[in-house]
């Protein structure tokens, strides 16, 4: 018997297994072949298409649309995967509403872009379903490259290097490869263990070994890697979480949103996963939206996103905000946390209204209290454990356009490095481009 939404505290089993299963199905079910044909037919085959310009990986979108129209989804999939080897995951998680679909001329024309994301999924699913890997390795170069971190940037880099004939070892600290694809992406965007299926498929290129439990600075060191490999690619992500500096932040029930999301992704039985009755998520990005929506899907009665600036400043796109709202999440803007109240465990969060003067945020002194037995912090991640000797820019590893760090033989990409947004698709582009540069360096 499910506990129900109104059970106090942080408890598991608020909803029945059936309800949970239904809640965590695909956000956007896959397109059927006829739907895909109709959807692809809407593409105008633009000249120098704006959608391609908007795609960090420069996928030739009009070409793959035409290939779907012409009845060859697998060829369409190959067009995508040539540019973006994680095109399957990107089809599911890309904020297309701020990338290709925002740039689509049909968005301009009628507010209804070609459904590029869903069509990309249709095409890449077709390739995956065939079980074949459409790329072949070049003959071996005898060179070896270490990739640190098996997230999107690392996987994309490793695949491209392997394809070019290099031997790659990926060092991954977690038990499973995939990085945020495995531990971070909203569960309702990547169902049926897609992240692992995609990694397995990617590895079919050959020439890539993954060593899990391999932690930079603990079990391995950059110097050692430099001695043993011809090149290094760092894609270590942002392992740190910004602290909530407010009295009571150490109370029970205050958690990091990324860990909460990871727990949901890794849960073998969602009914065993505890969630609060009153959940408050601090932050305004996609992590905040994911955590808030997941809380609702798990059965939380009231879920609030508390964000310190105005709605327009939120990192989450308008589409993501609407997604949260459609799941019954309340979005509270222009408030910042000042205290977590409760006797040992959180019971309420005190929020102070904010005002912005010349970009400077200040509290107005007015506060409200919102019931909160669970507080999820989604206030940003930070670089943690970057090896000594690398030049940083801000709080990221400084790299040039080709992904080269300040240290010879060491490249970096993905969220840990400068350049681009912290998106899966951007990480893939950076990993791929760094691989091409590593290849030219090793071929010189």
Partner 1 sequence: MADLTTNFLGISSPNPYWLASAPPTDKEYNVRRAFEAGWGGVVWKTLGAEGPPVVNVNGPRYGAIYGADRRLLGLNNIELITDRPLEINLEEMARVKADYPDRALIASLMVPCEEDAWKAILPRVAETGADGIELNFGCPHGMSERGMGSAVGQVPEYIEMVTRWCKQYYDRPVIVKLTPNITDIRKPAAAARNGGADAVSLINTINSITSVNLDTFSPEPSIDGKGSHGGYCGPAVKPIALSMVSEIARAEATHGLPISGIGGVTTWRDAAEFISLGCGTVQVCTAAMTYGFKIIDELTAGLSEWMDEKGYSSVDEVVGRAVPNVTDWQYLNLNYVAKAKIDQDQCIKCGRCYAACEDTSHQAISMSAERVFEVIDEECVACNLCVDVCPVEGCISMIPLTAGEVDPRTGKNVEPDYANWITHPNNPMAKAAE
Nearest distance in Å: CB 115, partner 1: 14
Q: Beta strand 231-234 with 240-241: parallel, antiparallel or unpaired?
A: unpaired
Nearest distance in Å: CB 431, partner 1: 29
Task: Output 49 or 300, the one with its CB closest to partner 1.
Answer: 49
Q: Count Cβ atoms within 10 A of the Cβ of residue 443 and give its class: 0-12 exposed, 13-18 middle, 19 or more buried.
A: exposed
Nearest distance in Å: CB 418, partner 1: 26
CA distances (Å), origin 295, targets 45, 135, 257, 299? 41, 40, 10, 6
Nearest distance in Å: CB 105, partner 1: 4
Task: Output 53 or 382, the one with its CB closest to partner 1.
Answer: 53
Q: Count Cβ atoms within 10 A of the Cβ of residue 119 and give its class: 0-12 exposed, 13-18 middle, 19 or more buried.
A: buried
Nearest distance in Å: CB 121, partner 1: 20
Nearest distance in Å: CB 49, partner 1: 8
Task: Output 48 or 312, the one with its CB closest to partner 1.
Answer: 48
The DSSP H or E segment spanning 257 is: helix 257-266
Task: Output 111 or 394, the one with its CB closest to partner 1.
Answer: 111
Q: Residue 428 is encoded by which pair of tokens?
A: 């893939």
Alpha helix locations (H) across 142-256?
152-163, 180-183, 194-203, 222-228
Helix (H, G, I), strand (E, B) or coil at 355: strand
Task: Output 103 or 241, the one with its CB closest to partner 1.
Answer: 103
Give the separation between CA 436 and CA 444, rounded to whole angstroms: 12
Nearest distance in Å: CB 116, partner 1: 15
In eight-state DSSP terms, residue 386 is P
CA atoms within 13 A on the CB side of 31: 23
33 and 41 Cβ atoms separated by less than 8 Å: no
Nearest distance in Å: CB 72, partner 1: 12
Task: Output 2 or 105, the one with its CB closest to partner 1.
Answer: 105
Task: Output 65 or 146, the one with its CB closest to partner 1.
Answer: 65
Nearest distance in Å: CB 104, partner 1: 9
Contacts (Cβ under 8 Å, ≥6 apart) of 424: 86, 89, 90, 93, 94, 152, 180, 181, 185
Task: Output 40 or 187, the one with its CB closest to partner 1.
Answer: 40
Task: Output 106 or 189, the one with its CB closest to partner 1.
Answer: 106
Task: Output 108 or 443, the one with its CB closest to partner 1.
Answer: 108
121 and 81 Cβ atoms separated by less than 8 Å: no
Contacts (Cβ under 8 Å, ≥6 apart) of 351: 306, 332, 335, 336, 337, 338, 367, 368, 369, 370
CA atoms within 13 A on the CB side of 363: 10
b/e sequence 213-234, b meaning 16+ C-beta within 10 Å: ebebeeebebeebbeebbbbbb
Nearest distance in Å: CB 97, partner 1: 18
Give the separation between CA 139 and CA 108, rounded to whole angstroms: 47
Interacting residue ranges for partner 1, rule: CB under 8 A: 34, 37-38, 41, 44-50, 105-106, 108-109
Name residue, tokens 């940003």.
380
b/e sequence 308-336, b meaning 16+ C-beta within 10 Å: bbeeeebbbbeebbebbeebebebebbbb
Give the separation between CA 439 and CA 435, rounded to whole angstroms: 6
Task: Output 34 or 357, the one with its CB closest to partner 1.
Answer: 34
């Amino acid at each position: 018997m499910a506990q129900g939404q109104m059970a106090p505290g942080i408890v598991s089993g608020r909803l029945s297994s059936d309800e949970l299963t239904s809640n965590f199905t695909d956000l956007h079910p896959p397109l059927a072949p006829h739907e895909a044909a109709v959807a692809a037919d809407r593409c105008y085959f633009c000249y120098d298409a704006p959608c391609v310009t908007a795609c960090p990986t420069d996928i030739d979108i009009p070409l793959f649309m035409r290939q779907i129209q012409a009845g060859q989804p697998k060829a369409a999939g190959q067009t995508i995967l040539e540019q973006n080897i994680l095109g399957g995951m990107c089809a599911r998680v890309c904020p297309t509403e701020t990338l290709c679909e925002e740039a689509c001329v049909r968005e301009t024309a009628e507010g209804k872009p070609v459904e590029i994301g869903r069509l990309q999924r249709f095409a890449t699913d077709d390739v995956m379903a065939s079980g074949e890997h459409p790329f072949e390795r070049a003959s071996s170069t005898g060179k070896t490259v270490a990739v640190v971190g098996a997230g999107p940037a690392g996987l994309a880099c490793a695949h491209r290097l392997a394809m070019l004939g290099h031997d790659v070892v990926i060092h991954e600290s977690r038990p499973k490869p995939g990085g945020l694809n495995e531990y971070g992406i909203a569960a309702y965007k990547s169902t049926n263990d897609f992240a692992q299926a995609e990694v397995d498929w990617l590895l079919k290129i050959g020439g890539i070994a993954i060593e899990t439990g391999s932690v930079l600075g603990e079990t391995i060191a950059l110097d050692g890697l430099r001695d043993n490999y011809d090149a290094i690619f760092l894609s270590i992500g942002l392992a740190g979480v910004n602290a909530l500096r407010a009295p009571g932040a150490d109370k029970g029930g205050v958690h990091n949103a990324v860990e909460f999301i990871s727990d949901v992704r890794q849960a073998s039985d969602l009914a065993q996963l505890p969630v609060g009755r009153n959940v408050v998520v601090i932050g305004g990005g996609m992590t905040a939206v994911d955590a808030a929506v997941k809380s609702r899907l798990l059965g939380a009665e009231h879920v609030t996103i508390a964000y310190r600036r105005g709605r327009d400043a939120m990192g989450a796109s308008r589409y993501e905000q609407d997604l949260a709202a459609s799941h019954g999440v309340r979005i509270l803007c222009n408030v910042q946390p000042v205290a977590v109240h409760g006797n040992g465990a959180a019971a309420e969060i005190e929020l102070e209204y904010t005002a912005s003067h010349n970009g400077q945020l200040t509290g107005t002194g007015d506060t409200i209290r919102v019931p909160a037995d669970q507080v999820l912090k989604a206030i940003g991640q930070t670089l943690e454990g970057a090896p000594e000797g690398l030049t940083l820019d801000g709080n990221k590893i400084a790299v040039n356009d080709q992904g080269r760090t300040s240290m010879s033989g060491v490249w970096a990409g993905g969220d840990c490095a400068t350049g681009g947004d912290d998106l899966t698709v951007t990480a893939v582009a950076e990993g791929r481009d760094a691989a091409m540069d590593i290849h030219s360096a090793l071929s010189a």
